[in-house]
Structure 1
Amino acid sequence: MEQKCTYDGGQSDFFAFSSGRPQQHVFQTAGTWQVESASRYEYWVETQIRHITVDRPNAAQRKDFRAKVTSLASATMEVHYAESDAFSASRTRRDIMADPVDELALLFVLEGSLHARLGDHHALSLGPDDFYLYDAGYPQRLEFSRNRIVQFDLCRRKLTAACGGRTPQPAVITDALRRSGLTSMLRLQLSQFPHAYYGLTPQERMVMQSATESLALTVISAALLSDRQATVNGLHLAEAARRYIHLNLDNPEFDTSDIARNLGCSRATLYRAFQLTGVSVAGYIREQRLQKLYQMLRNPLERRPISALAPLCGLYDIPNVSQMFRKRFGMSPSEARRSEMNPAVI
């Protein structure tokens, strides 16, 4: 049974999702072609958007706004395939306090772009094949170009259970799905909506929807687990690299290629491992060489000239060494030798 609703006092053959989820099975297509050009933007916002504040229309949107959406929904689930012109929307902390809804939606970008800013700092730029978890509990701003997007609503309880007891942050899910080899399966499944659903009975559609939900939760869970394992492996690799670096600080042929070759990994893998520690490979090597030179200069029994000590630390360009040393410690190597300051810490 297809549910009907009332819009502007008239009977319509579509359900307005701005009012929430339907209580009965709905499978429908609605669009702005149903109204005059000058009313299309407001019509779209008032009938299809909820729990986020859409920007006021600009001149182009007031003149015309083209959008359509095919939706499958019931009281417990919801999926939409939408095509629309560009628009932007925000959900502020004040909105969250005034309207504390518990809604999650996985957005799959088929065409166009989505720029998401979470709170005051974190920003994401998404394009075709990317995923974004819209969590109504986060303040955020979303800016859509002209787009084609599949929105698949998720149950927070199920997602939390699948992800080890807490809901991951949107950026974490986006990054994990970008790296996972399983994500292609989810892309393929979602890209079949709504075409694969035509001709099915309501019961068959719900079976398809349940299978898609299970796949989405499984892929997200596996992607996050893979990311966590990659983090652990990366930290172990970074520690092994640090030990190797300390053993080879005075080696003039020593570089990132040498480290990667001896650890049995690619340079790209080595770089990613060090990113987890917040410092680059080259930055860590430079710091350790400067620290070694500093400690040798602070040793009262070490009287060899600086030009002889620097190469023992893997520092061969003496004029450049003095500049790096002063930038790092605020004094020249000669001043460090005379200084009574405490040794610097790494």
Structure 2
Amino acid sequence: MPGWFEINAADRPAPQRPEYWRSAVCDQFVPLAVEPGGGMLRGRVAGGDVAELRLRRIRATQHGFERRQRDISAADPEVLHLLLLDHGETLVEQDDRATSMTPGDLLLYDSSRPFRFRTAGEFQFTICLMPKRLLPVPERVQRTWTARALPSAHGVAAAVAPLLASLARHGSTADAAQQLALQQAMVSMYVALLSETGVEGRPPAVNLSLAKSYIARNLGDPRLSPADVAAACSLSLSYLHRLFANDGSTVAGYVREQRLQAAHRDLLEAAVQQPVAQIAERWGITDPAHFSRMFKKRFGSSPAELRRRWRVDSPGRTYDDTRPGNAELTPAAR
């Protein structure tokens, strides 16, 4: 299967197995103390990557795992793990909380703070390691949800669990564009879990994060409106406007900025060999003249000027902005 790997402790002679296994677990997850239980060590790690997500499945005999402060100081990928317990029973501790997990439970834990796992016997975890920078949710909200077992029999968890399991099996076989879409779907699932009523309701920070996540998924829709965002997030329109005002922006201003930033990235991406007007349309701006004016006001140069400067600074580029349709749009051309 393309993009798929598997590591088996049994691939090494018994004397070498514990050290090989510890190294493999740290490489595939995060640096931590790996403490196999008594008896013959058996363990497998398998998985693949979906864009920037790492999807891993680990099955082994009884274990303890502990991420200590010195492990964090040595290396921290700054990921928020989402774990599905497929098999076994496990005790998890982080952020002064401890929870017992049974099969079907989901759980979030953070690479940036110490944690401890103790399995009661053989176990299997399916885990998504997501860079926290992808999550439009403040870290203080993320911390609220760590080490809390979330049964997948109902609510958001009931939708997340099968998606996580399926991504771990098949996600890495998707092409690059599909992987980005799957990654965004998983970001949305994380946000939904972090915003589900139960711990502290839905505080303003979470509602704002939900709104920003919905906007990110729908930037390409030129009809996207504040009313659409409010309805999708189950918020009143006036409350949505207050959320963005308290964040120092407006809904329309935030959407505009995200579209311009996305177009700016595409204009400097050698693989995106498209005319400026098509890039603008991809991000929901259908009037080329209006796009050019907004872009120049925001970045100090027109889209075509930006590309020309980048061509000079990056002589190895593959994009040819001399092709028809790639020149700056003049009034006559518009």
TM-score by length of 1: 0.49
**Aligned match of 1:214:** 187
Distance in 1 of aligned mates of 2:168 and 2:51: 19
RMSD across aligned C-alpha pairs, in angstroms? Answer: 3.5
Distance in 1 of aligned mates of 2:98 and 2:129: 22
- Flag the 1:94–1:203 CA change in 2: closer, same or farther, 3 A: closer
- Flag the 1:108–1:72 CA change in 2: closer, same or farther, 3 A: same
Counterpart of 1:228 in 2: which secondary structure? coil
**Aligned match of 1:184:** 158
Encode CA deviations 1:281-307: one digit per residue, 9 max, x unaligned: xxxxxxxxxxxxxxxxxxxxxxxxxxx
Counterpart of 1:110 in 2: which secondary structure? strand
Q: Which amino acid aligns with 2:32?
A: T
Counterpart of 2:186 in 1: which secondary structure? helix
**Aligned match of 2:33:** 54
For residue 96 of structure 1, report the CA deviation from its aligned partner.
2.8
Q: Which amino acid aligns with 1:127?
A: T
**Aligned match of 1:115:** 91
For residue 166 of structure 1, report the CA deviation from its aligned partner.
3.5
For residue 135 of structure 1, report the CA deviation from its aligned partner.
0.9
Q: Which amino acid aligns with 1:37?
A: A
Residue 34, structure 1, aligned to residue 7, structure 2: no
Q: Which amino acid aligns with 1:40?
A: R
Alignment of 1:150-165 (within 5 A): 150-159=126-135, 161=136, 163-164=137-138
Distance in 1 of aligned mates of 2:89 and 2:190: 24
Residue 131, structure 1, aligned to residue 103, structure 2: no
Distance in 2 of aligned mates of 1:77 and 1:230: 26
For residue 131 of structure 1, report the CA deviation from its aligned partner.
1.9
Distance in 1 of aligned mates of 2:55 and 2:151: 19
Q: Which amino acid aligns with 1:125?
A: S
**Aligned match of 1:229:** 201
Q: Which amino acid aligns with 1:48?
A: V
For residue 189 of structure 1, report the CA deviation from its aligned partner.
1.1
Distance in 2 of aligned mates of 1:29 and 1:170: 34
Distance in 1 of aligned mates of 2:104 and 2:77: 28
Counterpart of 1:94 in 2: which secondary structure? helix
For residue 130 of structure 1, report the CA deviation from its aligned partner.
1.5
Residue 168, structure 1, aligned to residue 145, structure 2: no
Residue 143, structure 1, aligned to residue 118, structure 2: yes
Distance in 2 of aligned mates of 1:135 and 1:147: 20
CA contact (8 A) 1:69 1:83 kept: yes
Encode CA deviations 1:5-60: one digit per residue, 9 max, x unaligned: xxxxxxxxxxxxxxxxxxxxx42122123222343232121123243432455542
Runs of 5+ unmatched residues, structure 1: 3-25, 232-346
CA contact (8 A) 2:77 2:131 kept: no
Distance in 2 of aligned mates of 1:118 and 1:165: 15
Counterpart of 2:164 in 1: which secondary structure? helix
Counterpart of 1:138 in 2: which secondary structure? coil
Q: Which amino acid aligns with 2:69?
A: R
For residue 80 of structure 1, report the CA deviation from its aligned partner.
0.7
Residue 95, structure 1, aligned to residue 71, structure 2: yes
CA contact (8 A) 2:82 2:107 kept: yes
CA contact (8 A) 1:186 1:219 kept: no
Task: Work out which structure has the larger RCO, using CA pairs closer than 8 Å and 6 or more positions apart in sequence.
Answer: 2
Distance in 1 of aligned mates of 2:144 and 2:70: 20
- Flag the 1:87–1:101 CA change in 2: closer, same or farther, 3 A: same
Distance in 2 of aligned mates of 1:154 and 1:129: 20
Larger radius of gyration: 1
- Flag the 1:45–1:209 CA change in 2: closer, same or farther, 3 A: farther
- Flag the 1:177–1:211 CA change in 2: closer, same or farther, 3 A: farther
- For these two proteins, the number of residue pairs brought into alignment is 201
